[in-house]
Amino acid sequence: MTEPAALKLKDMLKKQEILSSGHRMCAGCAAPTIVKLMGMALRGPTIVCEVTGCLEVATTIYPFTAWKIPWIHVAFENAAAVASGVIEAIEVMREKGRWSKEHVDVIAIGGDGGTFDIGFGAISGMLERGHDVVYMCYDNGAYQNTGIQRSGGTFRGQETTTSWAGKVSPGKEQRKKPLAEIVAAHRTPYVATVDPYHHRDFITKFRKALEVEGPAFIHAFSPCPRGWRSQTGKSMEIAKLAVEVGLHPLYEIFNGTEYKMSGPSRRLKELRPLDDYWKTQGQFKHLFKPEWADFKRGLQEQVNDDWEILKKKCGIE
């Protein structure tokens, strides 16, 4: 029987959580909240395939697990491939009469390291094959679990242990990969960006991802106080700011071509300045030094240009 998504507060409070407390994630980490919201969108039997990363190692310290639903840990690079295997296994079991007619949703989860970089080949293959899997990336902007190294998901100007900031370097100098649009280029049926602050937007989109025929992709913004050097009680505020400054706009892409901007982003009359976002985190403090004023100004211009391009794609004048 299909369960409704928990979009109202009273339904959220009644919904059984899929991740127990005591999971050992860092204080202020947004990933457990992201999983909790994902759980509120589920509609029935579900299997999760997850790559090695912060969420995996902290929720499944052997011999314990915080997961309350079927869950598989796989290597850093192959959650999408294993999820495809789960789909095929279910079909074979059904053909042999060893599985009921009840539908099973399969979800793959990875951080930005296992999604933007190491695991992208497997994700591309899953999308090309058209397997009915929802892949969700919780994006905390670096390989936080292994030492805060930069990834393809790290913003320009962001300092990590492999993109040092100082008098010579302004932090990472390369653009962040446009992950949602790269995935959408596969003509993926449904792609959406989400953040944990806008919870109803998150739940609604994740449920849409489950309900489409074929693969779907969710790009979730996930603040990390440890790696970002931010206050543990400010993660939701930072997630909200990321949307308002245009670093993580909220939108959907249907079948790779139709763009639709979500309410929280659509309601913005104009973007807030990036300074409002940068000042909340130690990883950007170097940008306020005089020697990086021109670089910082260039980052603001880049975000403004990207915002105007996205608006045009979404049909907003």
In the chain the domains, ranked by start, together with CATH numbers, are 9-313 (3.40.50.970)
Measured CA distances, 147 to 59, 106, 165, 226, 259 (Å): 18, 30, 16, 10, 36
Nearest-5° angle of CA 142, CA 143, CA 145? 130
SS3 percent helix, strand, coil of the chain, rounded to 5, is: 45, 15, 40
3-class SS of residue 238: helix
Percent of the chain with pLDDT over 70: 100
Does the pTM surpass 0.95? The reply is yes
Q: How far apart are CA 200 and CA 141, in angstroms?
A: 23
Query: How high does pLDDT run on average in the chain?
Result: 96
pLDDT at 100: 78
Confidence of residue 9 (pLDDT cuts 50, 70, 90): confident
User: Could you tell me which residues are beta bridge partners of residue 261?
Assistant: 251
Tokens (6 digits) for 92: 């074979």
pLDDT at 1: 62
pLDDT at 176: 97
Give me the mean pLDDT over the 98-123 stretch.
Answer: 93
pLDDT tens-digit map of 248-278 = 999 999 999 999 999 999 999 999 999 999 9
Q: How far apart are CA 7 and CA 201, in angstroms?
A: 9
Q: How far apart are CA 311 and CA 101, in angstroms?
A: 43
